[in-house]
Amino acid sequence: MGISERKEREKAEREQRIIGAARMLAEQDGWSSVTVRRLAQEIEYSQPVLYAHFESRDAIVGAVALEGFGELGPVLRASVRRSASPAEAMEDVAMAYLEFAFERPALYEAMFVLPTGLRFAKSDTPQSLRDTFGAMMAVVEPFCANAEVATEAFWATLHGLAELERDGRIREAFRKERVIHIINKLTQKS
Amino acid sequence: MGISERKEREKAEREQRIIGAARMLAEQDGWSSVTVRRLAQEIEYSQPVLYAHFESRDAIVGAVALEGFGELGPVLRASVRRSASPAEAMEDVAMAYLEFAFERPALYEAMFVLPTGLRFAKSDTPQSLRDTFGAMMAVVEPFCANAEVATEAFWATLHGLAELERDGRIREAFRKERVIHIINKLTQKS
DNA sequence: AATTACATCTAGCGATGCTAGATTGTCAAT
DNA sequence: ATTGACAATCTAGCATCGCTAGATGTAATT
């Protein structure tokens, strides 16, 4: 039965090519230019083939988002300097989060702005996203009684900073100042 | 020369009807169902007429956003309880901001998520948006040295809370807890 | 060899945003 | 009053989008 396995392998490969093409095109020309036709052309198949892999265009965006979730957690963990104080660790994570958002704007957009058909409220939250949340909680915990609530708030702050800066509502030049200010406040005991 | 004035008046009126229809349809069925054809039908004109008023569909979204900016500032100012302490004032503004976002999700989306073609970084920021920023700065100022940076951070936090809660990434039930936690931190002196 | 099942494509549907060109209506000048 | 110019408005259509039904070719099964 090596044949069906080969087919499965090929299918998985093709699926990855779709996701890769979508991500590349999005990062290059923005998500609006990621069309099903363009993707089909990129993987050298006709359009209906894409629908054998994904239910809709949104689902493709979702697959890219999922890839992003798989990367963000490790990036955050790796960002913490060795022998950093708890407050420094928090600052490292904050800066790393923002750099992630600005260096891969299309990926970040897929993860947090575009409709992807992914569900989060329930238990079907992808493990990689749970990990990301965990990475943030690790640096928030030392300073807060209710770590979960505090992490949600921390995350929201970072997301807001990323979004408002991305479309020019707050001044790019003051990114570091804002982070310093916030970390300073959040690491006060109360 | 009353004629041309009447025409101008009628044109302004029609423009307002377009904006109103867009806002209503968006709040009712989401922005994706606000199409130029639907709007034309709503105001009982053909589609090209809309392009005599707005350069593109995005510009219509922008006009709705602008209307929203005109409302958010006053809402925030009015939210501060009489004889509230500085910390309480900050909490009032935070809660009012979130309630604004959740009670008029489509309006908020137009203001802060959708592409609108509006510019913000420069001096052409609409006055109403400056006012909104001012309303937030007023409650942040007592607690921070660099009020501008602190306000940007505060605003970002609120925006992040609104966005993450809107698509189910953080728990709706803990909204108040998150706000309390944040206000508690931000109002510590440092 | 005939038939079934599967993989893939061609062609097209109903939308979308937007626009060129025809058509109507409204005034001013003769 | 008639005509002509100008502005307002509409009809009709383009290119593109996401998506899919039905045709076509290919491989596996009987």
Contact B170 A184 (CB under 8 A): no
Alpha carbons A14 and B122: distance in angstroms, whole number: 45
pLDDT digits (tens, 9 = 90+) for A14-49: 999 999 999 999 999 999 999 999 999 999 999 999
**In angstroms, how far is CA A24 from the centroid of its own chain?**
15
pLDDT of res. A125: 75
**Could you say which DSSP state residue B120 is in?**
-
A184 has pLDDT over 70: yes
Q: Which residue type does B140 have?
A: V
Alpha carbons B141 and B146: distance in angstroms, whole number: 8
Q: How many CB atoms lie within 10 A of CB B85?
A: 11
Assign A9 a pLDDT band (cuts: 50, 70, 90). confident
Smallest Cα distance from B11 to chain A, Å? 31
Alpha carbons A21 and B18: distance in angstroms, whole number: 39
Whether B36 CB is under 7 Å from strand D: no
Cβ proximity of B37 and B20 under 8 Å: no
Per the structure, the residue whose CA is closest to nucleotide C26 at C1' is: B3
Domain B57-190 has CATH 1.10.357.10: yes
Alpha carbons B150 and B141: distance in angstroms, whole number: 8
What is the pLDDT averaged over residues A106-111? Answer: 98
pLDDT in tens, chain B (190 residues): 456 666 778 788 999 999 999 999 999 999 999 999 999 999 999 999 999 999 999 999 999 999 999 999 999 999 999 999 999 999 999 999 999 999 999 999 999 999 997 877 566 678 888 999 999 999 999 999 999 999 999 999 999 999 999 989 999 999 999 999 999 999 998 7
Alpha carbons A185 and A35: distance in angstroms, whole number: 44
| Residue range A1-54, CATH number | 1.10.10
Where, residue-wise, is CATH 1.10.10 in chain B? 1-54
A11 inside 8 A of chain B by CB: no
Token pair 């169902």 is at which residue?
A: B33
Residues of B in contact with A94 (CB under 8 A): none
Per the structure, the residue whose CA is closest to nucleotide D10 at C1' is: B46
A1 has pLDDT over 50: no
Q: How many CB atoms lie within 10 A of CB B170?
A: 26
pLDDT of res. B1: 45
B19 inside 8 A of chain A by CB: no
Determine the distance between B95 (CA) and C9 (C1') in angstroms.
Answer: 56
**Could you say which DSSP state residue B35 is in?**
-
Give the count of alpha carbons within 13 A of B146, CB side only. Answer: 13
pLDDT digits (tens, 9 = 90+) for A116-158: 877 765 656 788 889 999 999 999 999 999 999 999 999 999 9
Where, residue-wise, is CATH 1.10.357.10 in chain B? 57-190
